[in-house]
Structure 1
Amino acid sequence: MNRLQVYLLLFFLGCAQMSAQDYFPVNDQVKAKNNNYMAFVNAKIYVTPVQVVDKGTLLIREGKVVQAGKSVTLPKNTVVVDVSGKWIYPSFIDVFSSFGVAKPKKFSAKGRSAEYGPSREGFYWNDHIMPENDAIDKFTYDDSVAKSLRKVGFGVVNTHIQDGIARGTGVLVALNREDNDAVRILDDRSAQYFSFKRSVAKRQSYPTSLMGAMALLRQMYYDADWYAKGHVDTKDRSLEALNRNKDLVQIFAAEDKGNVLRADGIGDKFGIQYAILGGGDEYERVADIKATNAKLILPLNFPEAYDVSDPYAAAYVSLEDMRHWNQAPANPKILAEHGVPFSLTLHDLKSPQEFNDKIRKAIQYGLPKTKALEALTTVPSDILGKSDEIGSLQPGRYANFLITSGDIFEKGTILYENWVQGKRNIVNDMFLKDIHGEYKLVVDGQNFSLSIKGEPTSPKAEVKRDTVKLKAKLNYGNEWLVLSLVDGKENTSYRLTALVDPDDDKLKGRAVLSDGKETTFEAVKTGTIDKKKKEKGATGPNMVAITYPNVGYGYASIPRQETVLFKNATVWTSEDAGILENTDVLVKNGKIAKIGKDIKAGAAKVVDATGKHLTAGIIDEHSHIAALAINEAGHNSSAEVKMTDVLDYEDRGIYHALAGGVTSLQLLHGSANPIGGQSAIIKLKWGESPENMVYENAPKFIKFALGENVKQSNWGSYSRFPQTRMGVEQVFIDYFQRAKEYGAKKKSGAAYRHDEEMETLVEILNGERFISCHSYVQSEINMLMKVAEKFGFRVNTFTHILEGYKVADKMRQHGVGAGTFSDWWAYKFEVNDAIPYNAAIMHDQGITVAINSDDREMIRRLNQEAAKTVKYGGMTEHEAWKTVTINPAKLLHLDDRTGSIKEGKDADLVLWSDNPLSVYAKAEITMIEGAVFFDLEKDAKLREAVKRERNLLIDQMLTAKESGHKTQAPQQNKKELMHCDTGAMEQ
């Protein structure tokens, strides 16, 4: 069968298969249905990624696969196409697409988002929850985009509205250009989608943060359950849709390794196993990712090298970002090695045309080709629950397949055809003869040398007469060759045209010379050209080692507990024993095992502490480091949000704090609202996961706030309640009254709607959660104590409390402690009355006083801040030291575990080079539970290692640029320095 016959057969077959539904009338043609079979024979067929048939046959009929294998019996009415030497694969599937769905328009923002509430009636109270949205309602098939997807091998995409936290359902679409939506839509409710990102089209203020989005999702699921049980009299179309869609595939757009774990945690809480869109950095926490048991959807958004040719600009690029460029292409390989199932997506690529280079790069970095093919076929079909329809060439599946010239993942392989639902889409001419080679060209008796090389589908010509190179332009398609030549030296031109004979190695045809003379030409093949071109960076740069955390100053391995004996130290116990001279301290199994003189070492590692000072680790009662967000500013109460949801274990502020002797801190919500969020109490275990940093069975705390920030006098919002200090008091009264009523209903045994916010406030009323309150002026300090006493509980800590010296007697009577600054004042109006004697005056009144930081810079020198209480107020050195050790431990109800050097307590210790209150003192060793998380000597080595690694990666990037790879401009990825009001004004 010649080429023309094949094309005609395929054309008529396609026409006969035009498939309007069988009950539709047909008035413009004879109504007929083609029952013929079609067989592709002599191909290498990937029935599945692991079932491969050499010289096999693929038999299809009516858009479905009938059989694929070695021995296939062909019915009489079979059209046979010989594809000898060709390879056949299942077409690719993208689980996470926006194909055919327009992006929502961003609302025009005027003023603070806190001024905006919900815009809809009859739906969920939060505009960012939109499970009622169905992508099918907004879907329009666009074949120009579909063509670009088919061109790189995709036959099916799962598309959805990429906007909002609950996004509604997706639609599964075959990229079938010939039929209509009735045929190409495989599932009009294919999955239900979620994310942590609020809608760009909605103004509603809440949530403004990641922790707010997480809290909203949890409350949404509780409300959906309450609604499903018939407890709501009115109709909520959002919750009805959410419940209706709960049996669909659930897909979560996390887009970051940490968010993958956060999303999975929400799913686990409500018995949902999400398929999760990752961010390409999952290799950094692969063990934790594997433990989720989630199927991932991986983008191939490997970053381009930075242009570091300017050394000053190069300094802006963080080591973390340099590493990610170096390591990210290995992400699929590392996940595959650890048995994490994943599919691949075009999401986050600038265009589909990048796909081939990206997938080849992943393979160069070690991703097995079988796993790559699984990630594009069988895994996505499994994620969607459609393995019996798509993803393989097994009988009964849609006839979605690719015909290629060879291994689809090899550079130079040509994708000829992409069949979708049995409909042929030509990407490149499968029957086009390969004309690459060396030729002797003769035109009008003149001899030339002709080289045809380049990409198989777009060859290029190089022509010389003797040693003179001519300008040449070659066009080749539909069997016709057109070659134009210009000889600038001789000022002559040649225009050659030929119909290429597939059975003849000669090229011959007509030629038109520059003087208009018509003649003939002939090109005789004299040799072949090696088309296997070495790819740029084919092996990829050498990967640098992953550290814990995988940023600058990360460790090769997570520090582990040791048995250590500190000999002859000056021991600051922070206990009644005071300061002990020439004393030994033995650390064993993470605890302080023994304190005394002349302790025998045994197998312990001995540290000579002669002339040095050993203290308990510093505890910062009020900190904002190690967080991805500080404020949820959308409501005047955000008691439902949790700082544990947004721990940033990669924040280098942790390492800096360890260098300043800090071992524990309370990570507090900010002061955007009177009732803030739940705090996190953590140990600064640099390199550990967030979960392992949080204190086990930690006391429960929450942040409250008073003053200028919560009434928003500093950033011009005039709508959100409260606007006055009187209003702040009313917020507390209102919420606690509601919590009291909620708690009473809960205790009664009656059915009740689970409310995350009220649950938290009830814990306060029951004495199960403690308040740490941002405060300044005496009137408000008194106010909150009176509100607390009215509802039968006590405030635990006033933090900042710069007018505490005015009401210290009342604070003592109430039983509240104080966390304060040593000598900060005058940074805003309500701090005008601050004095540096504040801490000493409150201490003298019998109040437990701690010095805190509230600042990532001050946390590094809290030892010196404590020393200021000696100067301002005459506190003894040991009492001063207690303000950063045992006193904050008492305020956090952790003094039975840490905060002092006492047998049986956690070995959270710091070895100082000098008196710890001295400005000359350096933390030489900072230990947490018997593991050394900072070592001054190792720090010096780390600094050198960081320099060497930066230089190595800069060299690799320079090499990449010289090799012709794309680069991006240097960018500074600098973490924001967070304080109480960070994020309080977010839109």
Structure 2
Amino acid sequence: MRIRFFVLVTFLCGVSLSAQDYFPKNDGVKAENNNYTAFINAKIFITPTKILDKGTLLIKKGKVVLAGKTVTVPKNSVIIDLQGKFIYPSFIDIYSDFGVNKPNKAPSGGRSAQYEPSREGFYWNDHIMPENNAISKFKYDNKKAKELREAGFGTVNTHIQDGIARGSGALVTLNDTGNDSDRILADKSAQYFSLTKSVAKRQAYPSSLMGTLALLRQMYFDADWYAHGNIATKDLSLEALNANKGLVQIFEAKDKDNVLRADKIGDKFNINYTILAGGNEFENVAGIEATNATLIVPINFPDPYDVSDPYLAEYISLEDMRFWNQAPTNPKVLEENNITFGLTLHDQKSTSSFRNNLLKAIDHGLSKTKALEALTTVPAQILGKSNLIGSLQNGSQANFLISSGDIFDKETVLYENWVQGQQHIINNKELKDIRGNYNLAAGNKTYQLSITGELDKPKAELKEGVQKLTSKINYEDNWVTLSFNNKEGNMVFRLTGMTTSNSDNISGKVLLPDGSESTFNATRTTAFIGKEKDGVNEKPIVVPITFPNIGYGYSDQPKQESILFKNATVWTSEEAGILEHTDVLVKNGKIAKIGKDLKGGGATIVDCKGKHLTAGIIDEHTHIAALAINESGQNSSAEVKMEDVVNPEHIGIYRDLAGGVTSAQLLHGSANPIGGQSAILKLKWGASADGMIYDNSPKFIKFALGENVKQSNWNSYSRFPQTRMGVEQTFINYFQRAKEYDIKKKSGQPFRFDEEMETLAEIINGERFISCHSYVQSEINMLMKVAEKFNFKVNTFTHILEGYKVADKMVEHGVGASTFSDWWAYKYEVNDAIPYNAAIMQSQGITVAINSDDAEMSRRLNQEAAKTVKYGGMTELEAWKMVTINPAKLLHIDDRVGSIKEGKDADIVLWSNNPLSVYAKAEKTMIDGAVYFDLEKDKQQREAIKKEKALLINLMLKEKDKGSPTQEPKKKNQEQLHCDSL
């Protein structure tokens, strides 16, 4: 059925792009252009799934009027025949900083404010800037716009990429011929957030990822409090945050685990973030899928490493080699798991590299339909602008690409990018493709000419017989200039000719070396066949991922097993003591039975003759498996949570399992008197961060005393306290405030929810336990007195190397101790430490544990416990309790772990020898009845890692041979974090 044009045409057309329709026209003679432009005989992608063969696209005044198979073209139309060519909607970059520069970096030096903001009338934290509007700092950049159009983009969503709450963005078209009133489709397109502080602000807080997450939570609580009229003063930041709630909320995560962290904040405050991903989501796609979040995905795939030097190649970790190999599969994996995503140029090395990476993603399995959706309809849908951009539906902006063929074919040439109906030429579409093989007759000789390369930038290879001649070619406006040397290299032939649309040949004039002129004719024998079309492309080899996706990760996450350990020496850590020739049955993740001659009932039987079975070691004080340790920007950081920054890929987890450790308390550092909330973990290698955290975990917080908190170790003078007296006053001040907060909360009066005060109130109410970094007796006494003043008890003094001096007072207070076995004299305040400390405190009735506070020591805690036998005459069983049941008691998890007892979690270790011996090896380490470390499997993994690295090195060498750019080998050192790590 033919479609006729009536009044509908006028209705669908927008206002003129040359000026606002109400502007006076009194400067010379002006007339509106009311003509149509009709593109006929093209393959048109109205949407990625709605495609027309030999269709017509009709536009007028920057808008699409109609796209169809049978369109009656109005008489006042400019007709452009696109026979054999393709039309696509122009791409949209939803995450850009186009036309908006980052603020200048704040000068270094001087004091950084702990609290004081640099602005009046705004939020207390300088890194929260929702009042910023990109449009106020926007300046159209013609040069960058040209780059983006050449990459296929017609619209960008730009914002100020600085700060934690960044303000609103602007949606801009890349139309050079218009002005900002034409280009700007939305001056408030979205509201932006990130996990990165402002470079222009000097406020110290937050200084860590966990501090940033806590600040975001408190910001939302405060915004709600403000919205209900509970704050008398003006806060322009919170007003802007609340005013922009109706916009799309975009969160910069840039990492698979940060995607989950951002989603948690969104869930807490009922916000559906669109999240900028990191490109590594394939490593935890199940967790990503569970968020139901829409992602914005970069495709800045890494270059292969230059591994030609075998010694330098040893620097590269298997993790980094794998990421190079696997990263291009990320879009495909997201597609396979039905995760909605758009693609972005963000973090590309250059705009021109985007196309190569996009084609690489398609080579690795991303469908072309999904790729086009991710660049057109999905970004438009995210922004709520599907009626304007992302498709060629009637009434949408006339933003479209004209190409020689499939836009995702490597050999396809992009001719034009029309933006708001304005033509922007990228390559001359009338340019004929001269690539192919020719017989060239010139100067009474015949040569073999091969023309390859890009359509508008061809490369020539010329041979006379079998000898290759030096040659150079240029091609412009269908004119060919070619020069080449003779065999001897001492004479130059210069050719100038033209190709015509109705011939495959090139002919023209040749200037011979002797100065005479003649003619030449190049007759095409075969057409050019690109690499993608000649069948030589190999399917990429991609190594499988593991859990976690680093060396020693598992191909499948460990599962619970039924195992009967027969004839073991069982160290129960209970009153039963050490049992000889005893069986232990593990079933459904629990210790089911303990006894002699047990029947397995189908369980796998492990012969333990000559071996020892114990409960898993528990490290009461560790800093492994964390992305950050200290939030040092304030003297109290009670609001931050170590659970927010658990790093499930830390190799220390695997090493601890190899040392028989199954549980650990991940503690905040000692940079401030009141630190952050702890995370109590089961070291489930391969699980997610949340999967490692104890269910119904007891609540703990880290406090600290001594040199670190008064900052004498790093010469900082910008934060209170600076003395030990100031530390005491800090505690008193904060607990008094928490007490008043709690009284108001319990009274039923309206109150501002304060995460920091909530945490401290939990301590006062006996709902949260303190583990306190401590050394000298005066401060140990001080904190106990402060606690008693506010009617609570300190749960654990950790380190406590002068505990032997105040053991009687500790017993009276009811506090436990977690200490080092034999550390002393490593700083001034431990000069009085003695290795008999643990035994002396134990003898006075204190529950004593041996902790590590050190990644290296943590995997040898069995040997640290053994030292108490020498230093204090402890029995072997009592020594062993110091790393099993005693830390379990201190952590209030002794009803679940810490000993071998029927009904407890099957967190157990099979040792090759007496566990206190330096010769003992952990042969199997189980958590909840699943084997997370196996000595024999470890040996197999070492060999598998060697083979996999060899494979990946060979693949990188092949890439280099193909001419791929490479990067220098880099050694990836995983920083070992300690109490004082900032």
Hey, what does 1:242 align to over in structure 2? 241
Matched, 1:847 2:846: yes
Q: Which residues of 2 match residues 42-441 of structure 1 at below 5 A?
A: 42-110=41-109, 113=112, 117-441=116-440
| Equivalent residue, structure 2, for 1:522 | 520
Please tell me the residue identity of whatever aligns with 2:49: V
Aligned residue for 1:896, secondary structure, equals: coil
2:443–2:520 contact (8 Å) kept in structure 1: no
d(CA) in 2 for partners of 1:446, 1:943: 63
Give the superposition deviation at 1:510: 4.3
Distance in 1 of aligned mates of 2:875 and 2:923: 24
Q: Is the 8 A contact 1:898 1:906 kept in 2?
A: yes
| Cα distance change, pair 611–179 in 1 and its aligned pair in 2 (3 A) | same
Specify every segment of 5 or more residues in structure 2 that has no aligned partner in the other structure, as ranges.
1-14
Confirm or deny: 8 A CA contact 1:508 1:520 kept in the other structure. Answer: no
What is the percent sequence identity of the aligned residues?
69
SS at match of 2:860: helix
Report matched runs for 1:505-654 at 5 Å: 505-513=504-512, 517=516, 519-534=517-532, 538-539=537-538, 541-654=540-653
Q: 2:7 corresponds to which residue?
A: none
Q: Which runs of structure 2 are paired with 1:398-797 in the superposition (5 Å)?
A: 398-443=397-442, 448-464=447-463, 469-487=468-486, 489=488, 491-513=490-512, 517=516, 519-534=517-532, 538-539=537-538, 541-797=540-796
- Cα pair distance change 1:328/1:698, threshold 3 Å: same
* Cα offset, 1:564, TM superposition: 1.3
> What is the distance in 2 between the residues matched to 1:253 and 1:744?
39
Give the superposition deviation at 1:504: 4.1
1:797 to partner: Cα distance: 0.2
Counterpart amino acid of residue 262 in structure 2: A
**Corresponding residue of 1:823:** 822
Q: 1:286 Cα deviation (Å)?
A: 0.3
Higher mean C-alpha displacement, 309-318 vs 278-287: 309-318
Q: Deviations over 1:843-898 (max 9, x none)?
A: 01100000000000001110111111111111111111110111001101111111
Instruction: Write the distance in 2 (CA, Å) between the matches of 1:134 and 1:865.
Output: 58
1:802 aligned partner: 801
Letter in 2 for 1:975: Q
Cα deviation, residue 60, structure 1 = 1.2
- Does structure 2 conserve the Cα–Cα contact (< 8 Å) formed by 1:364 and 1:539? no
Q: Matched residues in 1 for 2:504 and 2:312: separation?
A: 55
What amino acid is aligned across from residue 363 of structure 1 in structure 2?
I
Q: Structure 1 residues 734 and 29 mapped into 2: Cα distance closer, same or farther (>3 Å)?
A: same
Q: Which moved more, 1:782-791 or 1:486-495?
A: 486-495
Q: Which residue of 2 aligns with 1:7?
A: none
- The 1-side partners of 2:620 and 2:448 are apart by 81
- Amino acid of the structure 2 residue aligned with 1:597: K
Q: Cα offset for 1:571?
A: 1.0
Q: Secondary structure at the match of 1:887?
A: helix
Partner of residue 905, structure 1: 904
Q: Paired residue for 1:12?
A: none
Q: Which moved more, 1:76-85 or 1:280-289?
A: 76-85
Q: Are the aligned partners of 1:541 and 1:956 in contact in 2 as well (CA < 8 Å)? A: no
CA positional deviation for 1:520: 4.8
CA gap of 1:933–1:469, structure 2 versus 1, over 3 A, is closer
Aligned to 2:959: 960
TM-score by length of 2: 0.96
Q: In structure 2, what is the Cα distance between the partners aligned to 1:918 and 1:348?
A: 52
Secondary structure of the 1:927 match is strand
1-side partners of 2:652 and 2:854: how far apart? 10
Tell me which amino acid in the other structure corresponds to 1:528: T
Quote the residue 1:3 is aligned against: none
In terms of mean alpha carbon deviation, does 431-440 or 844-853 score higher? 431-440
Contact 2:387 2:396 in 1 (8 A): yes
Residue 925 of structure 1 aligns to a residue in which SS? strand
- CA drift of 1:548 comes to 0.9
1:829–1:112 distance in 2 versus 1, CA, 3 Å: farther
In structure 2, the CA distance between the partners of 1:763 and 1:903, relative to structure 1 (3 Å rule), is: same
Distance 2:524 2:255 in 1: 55
Distance in 1 (CA, whole Å) between partners of 2:505 and 2:918 is 88
Aligned partner of 2:6 in structure 1 is none
| Contact 1:46-1:53 at 8 Å conserved across structures | yes
Where do 1:905-984 residues align within 5 Å?
A: 905-983=904-982
CA RMSD of aligned residues (A): 1.8
For residues 812 and 330 of structure 1, the distance between their equivalents in structure 2, rounded to whole angstroms, comes to 59
* Distance across 2 between alignment mates of 1:920 and 1:603: 33
Distance 1:617 1:230 in 2: 53
Contact 2:467–2:487 at 8 Å: present in 1 too? no
Q: Structure 1: how far apart are the matches of 2:917 and 2:295? A: 52
Q: State whether residues 820 and 849 of structure 1, in contact with CA within 8 Å, keep that contact through their aligned partners in structure 2.
A: yes
- CA offsets per residue over residues 564-617 of structure 1, 9 Å max, x none? 111111111111111111111111111111111111111111111111111111
Which amino acid in the other structure matches residue 860 of structure 2?
Answer: R
Q: Which residue identity lines up with residue 862 of structure 2 in the other structure?
A: N
CA contact (8 A) 1:616 1:899 kept: yes
1:159 is displaced (CA, Å) by 0.9
Deviation at 1:631?
Answer: 0.4
Partners of 1:31 and 1:421 in 2: how far apart?
A: 21
3-state SS of paired residue (1:819): strand
Matched position secondary structure for 1:352: coil
Partners of 2:505 and 2:326 in 1: CA distance: 49
Q: Greater shift after overlay, 435-444 or 903-912?
A: 435-444
* 1:419-469 superposed Cα distances (whole Å, 9 cap, x missing partner): 111111111001112223444545566655544332212123344556665
Counterpart of 2:771, as a letter, is S
Change (3 A) 1:976 1:111: farther
Alpha-carbon distance in structure 1 between the residues aligned to 2:962 and 2:490 = 36
Report SS of the residue matched to 1:915: coil
Q: 1:787 to 1:188 in 2, by over 3 A?
A: same
Are the aligned partners of 2:670 and 2:704 in contact in 1 as well (CA < 8 Å)? yes
> Given that residues 437 and 528 in structure 2 are in contact (C-alpha distance below 8 angstroms), is that contact kept between their aligned partners in structure 1?
no
- Corresponding letter in the other structure for 2:294: K
Aligned partners of 1:904, 1:878: CA distance in 2, in Å?
21
Q: How many residues align?
A: 967
Alpha-carbon distance in structure 1 between the residues aligned to 2:40 and 2:853: 73
Kindly state the Cα deviation for residue 485 of structure 1 after the two structures are TM-superposed.
Answer: 3.9
Q: Is the 8 A contact 1:771 1:796 kept in 2?
A: yes
* Cα distance in 2 for residues equivalent to 1:966 and 1:538: 19
Contact 1:364/1:538 (<8 A) preserved: no
8 Å CA contact 1:173, 1:186 repeated in 2: yes
**Matches of 1:537 and 1:834, distance apart in 2:** 71
Report the Cα distance in structure 1 between the residues aligned to 2:226 and 2:950, rounded to whole angstroms: 59
- SS in structure 2 opposite 1:106? coil
Uncovered stretches (5+) of structure 1, i.e. residues with no partner? 1-15
Q: Is the 8 A contact 1:454 1:531 kept in 2?
A: no
